[in-house]
Amino acid sequence: MSYGRGSCTIERMKCSGCGNELQSAGEVCRDCGNTPAFDPTYVTPGVSSEFHQGETEAINLPRRNSQQLPHQRNPYPPDPNYEAFQHQPYNAQSGGPPSMARLRRGPSHSTILVACICLVLVFIGAIGLSTMYVTSQGNQQKATQEPLHTYKTTVAMPTTTTAVMSATATPLVVPTTVPEAGFTWCGSDCAPDGFIDQFPVGWQASALSGVTGFQFVNLQQPDQVAVFKRLDNPTGTADQLLATEIQAVYASKPGYEAPQPPTGQTATIGGETWSTTAIAYMNNQTKEHVTICATVHQGKTFVLEFQAPDAQFAQVSTAYYNIMIGKFQFTQTGTP
């Protein structure tokens, strides 16, 4: 609207945002959604908008036909009612003003970037978890498919000595090998006496009385006996010790028969060379056969005596005594 000295020209307003013509002041622009306030500078070019300089000078308004306008209007436009425009909902069919939700800006570039980064991190985390799960499942399946490793334990079995060995045998500890079928070890009991050996299952093993050593007796036939002795501080050679043992133990028995063959024969037992001979005597009308062996080992005398009825001696020797001779081993004196 412009105001002149002799006339008043009313012009349409233009939107300050996009320049679109508005119907009235305070109208919401349909193109950009701007709601401009009343601004009297929006006038048609070439028309003066200068006010009268005199404060009391009247403003000449154009006369209006009283018949057409029964009520005279205010020459100034009313103040725009912004509240009505701000709260009026937009109706697409009626072409009303758009709502504030439509005029809001979309998400900024920084918000979109942050959202993209979050999505990428979630995707990477999902891939990592999937990889870990697949790997763990593969390892578990491999562990269940792989056979368990088995370890074989090789146990050294003592063998029967058939050849003459050196005069000094290496001391042995208590064995853990499996004994021969029908035999058991005299290990921790016999080791303190300087030897270990196997004896038949069912035979009784007991310590000797008055002398260091063990005896093994067949409980089914008590005259089948094996005696192992250890004598300290030897006073002669193995032959001399053998003769002394025979004279002290068997010479006074009923029906005693001198050694046949005489002393002087040898045998290898436990890696040592032993002097050996055989004697006989009568026991309750039964002729007993006794084979005696003697040696000196690490400054100590060892004597082995194997007895059985003369008629059964060869059979008992094959079944028992030969195995005991083959399994005999020396140990350190006092070894538990």
CA distance 257 to 238: 21
Q: Is residue 335 part of a domain?
A: no
Q: Is residue 57 part of a domain?
A: yes
Answer yes or no: is pLDDT of 319 > 60. yes
Domain final position from 112, 144, 171: 112
State the pLDDT at residue 132.
84
CA distance 329 to 171: 8
Q: Is residue 148 part of a domain?
A: no
State the pLDDT at residue 294.
94
Let me know whether 189 and 317 are in one domain: yes
Q: Is residue 146 part of a domain?
A: no
Answer yes or no: is pLDDT of 49 > 90. no
Answer yes or no: is pLDDT of 302 > 80. yes
Domain final position from 83, 112, 141: 112
Let me know whether 204 and 305 are in one domain: yes
Domain final position from 71, 93, 112: 112
CA distance 311 to 284: 14
Let me know whether 198 and 322 are in one domain: yes
pLDDT tens readout for residues 225-241 = 999 999 888 888 888 88
What per-residue string of b and e applies to 47-66 under the rule 16 or more CB within 10 Å gives b?
Answer: eeeeeeeeeeeeeeeeeeee
Nearest by Cα to 187 from 298, 219, 179: 179
Q: Which residues pair with 3 in a beta bridge?
A: 8
Let me know whether 206 and 71 are in one domain: no
Let me know whether 194 and 321 are in one domain: yes
CA distance 240 to 242: 5
pTM over 0.85: no
Distances (CA, A) of 326 to 182, 201, 268: 15, 17, 9
Nearest by Cα to 39 from 7, 4, 13: 13
CA distance 302 to 274: 9
Q: Are 99 and 91 in contact (CB under 8 A)?
A: no
State the pLDDT at residue 131.
84
> Tokens representing 254?
């009923």
| More confident position, 99 or 128 | 128
The whole domain housing 196 covers 183-330
pLDDT tens readout for residues 230-284 = 988 888 888 888 999 999 999 999 999 988 766 678 999 999 999 999 999 999 9
pLDDT tens readout for residues 184-227 = 999 999 999 999 999 999 999 999 999 999 999 999 999 999 99
Q: Is residue 122 part of a domain?
A: no
Let me know whether 197 and 306 are in one domain: yes
CA distance 265 to 267: 7
Backbone angles phi, psi at 168, to 5 degrees: -115, 120
Let me know whether 85 and 221 are in one domain: no
Based on the structure, what is the number of domains in the chain? 2
Let me know whether 216 and 314 are in one domain: yes
Let me know whether 207 and 108 are in one domain: no
Let me know whether 320 and 189 are in one domain: yes
CA distance 240 to 275: 9
Pairing of strands 329-330, 286-297: unpaired
Nearest by Cα to 267 from 277, 257, 258: 277
Tell me what the mean pLDDT of segment 286-294 comes to: 95
pLDDT tens readout for residues 137-182 = 766 665 555 444 443 434 344 443 333 333 344 444 555 689 999 9
pLDDT tens readout for residues 84-96 = 545 445 454 555 5
Let me know whether 190 and 322 are in one domain: yes
pLDDT category at 80 given cuts 50, 70, 90 is: low
Q: Is residue 172 part of a domain?
A: no
Q: Is residue 153 part of a domain?
A: no
Q: Is residue 149 part of a domain?
A: no
Which domain CATH number covers 259? 3.40.1000.10
What is the maximal distance between C-alpha atoms in the chain?
Answer: 182
CA distance 47 to 25: 19
CA distance 246 to 257: 11
Let me know whether 188 and 95 are in one domain: no
